[in-house]
Structure 1
Amino acid sequence: MIRGSWEKDFFAGLILFFVVFQANGAFSQNAKSDSLINLFNKSTSDYDKMKLANRIASLNVNTDSTLFLFYTNEVIRLSEKEHNNSYRGYAYFNLGSFYGEKNILKALDYSNKSLSIFTEIDSLNSVAMVQTLIGSIYFYNGNYSKSYKSFLESLKINERNGNIFALGTDYNNIAIIYSAQKNQYKAIEYYKKALQFGEKYNDKELYSTLLLNISVSYTELDSLEQALQYAHMAYDSLIKTEYKEMLPHVLLNLSELYIRTDNLDKAEAYLKDVEQIINKSNKYYFLFYNITKGKLLSAKHNYNEAIKVYEFCYNESIKEGIFPFAQDVSEDLSKIYKSINMYKEGLFYTERFHAIRDSLTNSEKIKYITELELQYKFDKQLDIKLKEEINQKKLLSLQLKIIVFSLVALAFAIAVVILTVYNYKSKQKSYSLLNEKNSQIQKQSDELKDQRDKLHHLNLSKDKINSIIAHDLKNQFNSMLGFTRLIIDNWHDLDENRKLLYLRKVDESTMHSFNLLNSLLEWSLSQTGNIKVNTECIELKIIADNSIANLYAQAKAKRIKIENRIDSSINIKTDAIMLSSILRNIVSNAVKFTNVDGKIWISCISKKEGYISIEIQDSGVGMSQDVLGSLFNIKTHTTTYGTGNEKGTGLGLLICKDFVELNNGWIDVESELGVGTKFTITLPSC
């Protein structure tokens, strides 16, 4: 069981159900990890070791993530040797559950592996279980449509399979999707469907949870009488069971509702009940309790005491990073201070309320954008194989067309020769016809040559990409794999400094691989003509400042000063994103080949006939004429190490040249060994 996000009122937290850490067999929670690990190390049977690893992982899922991850991966390794798909499917399920609120890409990857295994072995109950997990992952990342789709798929499977004990959970989860989308009437409809199963099969935990969720939905609809009715039912159900975890939630819910209905004596009574059982180590419930206490004191017009409680809640909420609490508390404090004519303090908390609200709004936007980016990367990984197959088919089709066209041209030429011999006596007419046919053949020959040159260029591009993938990417992944295996194999023998050193090496290799893939993507888009150019009139200085800011840390590490001399009045007509990429690549190159304490400056000059030239000059090591001659040639282009031993991708300047030409401009470069290099980019002005 995991808890949903808090709504505007703190008691409006919904409870979402899904199975957490499933395993074959019942495992004693009192078993000691050390003794099980000892048995695991001594065992010679892969099957026994697989079961022991599963037990060790289950004991440490909430206490020691390192042990949990290690032994879960052992389950996967051993289950593959034993061809035990059931254990392997549950191991992937447990990893998906573990990463559910931590890393959506990993969570979905492991969950989909589990889903494939259970689908393959036709374990329908397990398939429904994984669909519920996938729905929960999407729910906590704000993708309600995909969450609903997975929950609905679980419901359909359980209905077809007659798994009636799981239907209550399915209905509850679907109801929470409707509640999150503010469709409380539909949510209540599904909660009540689920309620029948909780009551029929005496599932007290599910039954109590559903009663509380129904109360929350009625509260959202401002139907306080019905909200109270279901909150009392939830309380009555809970006190008859051993499931007490949710009791503080229900009591605070009741107290809050009675405050809203002006029945302050009952609100105070329930608040005192909470005080007897509240766990102060649970920051959410402890703050929830104090906020409700502050509301009760405020409702009784005991403003001095209410202010003390609220200010404690505000400070603790900020300290613990629970900003939705801090937002509501600052709003209530502002109202109290204004009501007692303390306007200065009221203004302070009004400003804090708006600042926190704006911060939370921006956080939600960032989370939404991040979720879209992660989903894009995940979908892209799934589609890459299909795209490769399609591209291969297109290439074969193009080659076949060229061969057919060549044969047709040859046949046509033979026909022309035969016709010329046949009409030998009519020389004038024959010569005229022959010249016409020769002209057509020449035109077709030129077209074939043009296509051959394009294919040759594409082959060079393909060879360059293959070279980068075969050498640069392979080396980076070998480095990452080597250091990762070194860390895993020698974890207990390495001191903390050595571990940090190796992890930094892995991080450097990962970042270089990421930059290389980004460059490959940008360059391949420009080569295939699939990139769209959106030209607009933009302020050049802003783009240059942003590009410099992205390279600040890299330049600072070498104490290199970067100076932007561009006047803010200069505008340029180009694609802003492409120009940012051009400037970033060239300035990054300048940093790479400039010594410590060097200088880089960016300036621009107006050219005649509506063009502006941007100059990027450094005091670096410079280049020879041979290097300059091959700088933009893909066939001879290579990458070299910088003055600080930095490694590049070998594609940056090629991307710059393509992007400049796509924006109707051109690029020039001047360099002198030991003096420095100057790149000049000329683009249309506004």
Structure 2
Amino acid sequence: MEWDSTLVYSMKQLSKSNALELNDYCHYFRAVSFLRKNLFDEAKNELKLVSGKFIFYHNVTFFLGEIALQQNEFEIALRYFNSIEKLAESTYDFKKSVVLQNIGSCYLHLNKFQKAETYLIKNSKSQEVQNDTLLLVESYLLLANLYYVQYKDDQAIPYFEKAYNLSKKVKSFDIKRMAAKNMAAVEENRKNFPLALVYRKEYETWKDSLNDQNKVWAIADLEKKLAVKQKQKEVDVLAAENKVKVAERNGFIISSVLLFVLFGTGVYFYRQKTKNNRIILAQRNELDELNATKDKLFSIVSHDLRSSVNALKMSNNKLIENLKNKNFTELDVLLHNNSTIANGAYNLLDNLLNWALLQTKKAYFFQESLHLATIVQHVEYNYKPLMLNKNINFENNVSAEDYVFADLDSIKIIIRNLLDNAIKFSKENGKISIYSRTPSEEFCYLVIEDTGIGMNKSVQEELLKETILLSKKKNDDTIGTGLGMQLCKSLIRKNEGKLEIESEENVGTKIIIIVPKFKNHG
């Protein structure tokens, strides 16, 4: 099942629905999706948004219990599972034996062995009646571990053996692997190393089946013990001969050690020299790249400014000519054109100034609590004329509850540049939306979405590269210096945030600004 699609469509439904029952289903489906993706905190947050009137609220309680169990919050998990245990089994759609097993597991982790034993025995009897082999193996393994940690080997070992024999009938490689591993541990404690080795090799076989290659130190250790035992007699015979050669061997060892130290010292200094040479070469290459970038920046900015001034000069000549002829329709077009050119040149110079301040570390920077919706409104006000000029429909759905911990000027520059790009790449009668995504515990998510020309994957990857090199110009009408995007990435990194892009050609683009949340608000 495509859980990401479930998350997207349920979020869209939540954004336009106020119906309690429908919202409960959306939060429930989102929680299940997060669970399948092993995102337990996100799943827990969604489950807590489901109202107590939800028809499947018993499932909500069960999932909250399982999340708490996964996160080792055993007391909390117990409260959830105990509340489910009190319900009649006909009122929910999962096996009661699973609830009993989870309660027993919680008590086992809390070292309340007597209560754990009561629930786990009740669970195993229920599984035996239901003839569910997989759950029965899990039940036997829990009982075996319960007795084993209390050093009740006589009670634990029969359950380990039952679990191992039943595991041969199930398809789960995890269960087979766990059962074999437990039997290996039992035989190792019994000092029956050959049999333990058999189980350990079986355990490693199941690990290979799961493509989970780990070191097989346990097998090597058992084989070593067997080899040592077989060779012990030979060692005893050779011991007498070795005493005669001890003095000679010690002299040889000392000489070897000294030679090794001298060789190691030489290798160390050679590696240090090689490392220093690599560092110097890398620094020189980086300096060359910085100089090339600087030259390229000056070249592109000079070209853009010259083009803007030249366009403004030609437009003004036409403006004077049409003013003499009183051609007011053409005058209106030329004035709007002049305004667009002037705004573009101003934004370029402003970005160049901020970029220079950032590179020279002279920019004022102070992180504080900022109300995100208010900042977006301020930036939006400055760009409304440009959007009206292209007949762009604009929507601002930024959550009033979002407070970020960031530098005010930085956030304004970032939003301004990205909104300016959205307008630039949007078509006539397009749409631009700015809205919040559900925040995490650490970050707020601000999305700037447009229905413009979009971009392919290679362009997205190029824009997100950690580099200061500028993009090549392809079309003077739509592609700028790339300085604005580089400035945005630098400022977002300085604010300890991230930038993400979701885009599709001829469909549109989503730019996601991820900024640290201000945690002490409210």
TM-score, length-normalised on structure 1?
0.36
**What TM-score results when the alignment is normalised by the length of structure 2?**
0.45
